[in-house]
Chains A and B, each alone.
Chain A
Amino acid sequence: MSANFDAGIRTPDDAYERKRLAAVHPDSWNNPAPGGPYQLVVVGGGAAGLVAAREAAALGARVALIERHLLGGTCFNTGCVPSKALIRTASLYGEMRHATRYGAQMPDEIKVDFAAVMTRMRRIRSHLTSTTSVRLLAASGVDVFFGNTRFDGSDRLSVNGQPLQFDKALIATGARPHIPDIPGLKQAGFLTNASVFDLTELPPRLLVIGGGPLGCELAQAFQRLGSRVIIVQDLPLFLEHEERDAAQTLSDAFARDGIEVRLNTQAVAVRVEQGVKLVDLVSDDYHSTVSVDAILTGVGRRPNVQGLTLEAAGVDYGETAGIAVDDQLRSSNPRIYAAGDVCLEARYTNIAEESARIAVRNALLGGSERLSKLVIPWCTYTDPEIAHVGLYVREANARGIPVKTFTVPMHQIDRAITDSEEDGFVKIHVRDGSDTILGATIVSRDADDMINEITLAMVAGVGMRMLARVIHAYPTKTEAIREAAIAYNRTRLTPRVIARLRRWLGR
């Protein structure tokens, strides 16, 4: 079954790819001649770097941006954008396979044209270069350089040997996949987020090592596209930072999709026999070997700090934690700031972008904005999706904040029932004894959009009492949020209050 799988990965050379590469790193690009000292030099052209450069240019600053490889970084080229395009098609195939659940006829034959799936993804990615291109950035007033950056002092650096002076610098070099140290893995070959979107042929059998957000998303997507997927996670549950019940719901969804779930399991060795990858797995005292055609890994991510000679600039950093910054995103060199994955534990595009905005304002305008004041939601795009904002219960407990959770299972919500999407829940964490929202977790097919309502409430200081008064369109899944708020209101009706009410009504 697997004999014909071509394990070689080559970036497809089609019109879409040529358009994308021409936009994010044109061959014909010549670095500009550096002007006098830049007011801001941004190192890294990913999500954080692009936002920083645009914001700084919009403020009227003299800005340079240096990118080593492709503008747009991980999110645009090998992360959020291609994965969401792929997940959309996979979701459609998932629905086809469960058509009878909706009273629909399952197609006689569900045939996946994987090449077409990937072509669509590349088309969408190249289409989005209309907002992510070197020429657009340059037109907005940013000097764009391609090359390797080395810091030569506290206020200067060089790009491929060409010196640049700066008043302030922002390092936004992002992170790269961390490859686990498994004997035989490198020799056998493996995929990461950097290469998986170059596939043109579906691996019949795929092993995913690591149950973080991207591992979970792609495991489910490839299973739905027709791969037989095994996912291995060296922990009791997926998504170690998420709530237990969310991760449990995801495990159940994986099992329903037919994914072979191996929790508390480590991949300890890989070898190739007759073109097939054999991976040894260990779960406590249970040893087994699985045969697969491809391995997707990249457990966690490591900040890109090497080669920058940060020591010369007096910037403290660690190989795992990245650049050390304070709450205002300033490094140990007061001229140099950092933003995004290179310095933050939460590695999401929206956090990277927002941290870049703060860093630019603090660097150029002498601001004192703090990262810890932000309310930032995130989402893992599995089915169901898992979205979170604010504090987790364990974080509230650790800080000594009394917390109470208002839970509404989606099976209580009419729209979830009519859509046959009852799995999941809305959990809103409040400071016990008040209506202040501390955070929320939503597990639902549309959790990504639903979480924004809670985020808005938190930013605007809207508590549960006010939320209970917000009329929602009917029927919608976001009614679960209002139901949680109404449940909060009911808890205010203590026996004493009810007795008073009765007396008043009976007067």
Chain B
Amino acid sequence: MVVQTESFVMLSIVLFVLGAMGVLLRRNAIMVFMSIELMLNAANLALVAFARYWGNETGQLFVFFVITVAAAEVAVGLALIVAIFRSKRSINIDELHEMKG
């Protein structure tokens, strides 16, 4: 059976919305981080799906780059979270509002 491209896109949308909701609603920085990863992977999924639909490998290639960059981003992000936790003893992002204007 051939899975319809629409199904991939729908899944991707669901995943993206889930990620977005997580970013907006979660207070734990780790959870927010994970939600961002979810959104990235939703986008990856969409890219791959469209690449398959068009028969064009550029999209799939692009996904590799995204994954690579996401890995780097995770490294930096987690390091930041660790540093914040060390100074604040908390990773609740609602407590981190020193940037208030």
Whether chains A and B associate is no
Seen from chain A, the residues whose Cβ lies within 8 Å of a Cβ on chain B are none
Seen from chain B, the residues whose Cβ lies within 8 Å of a Cβ on chain A are none
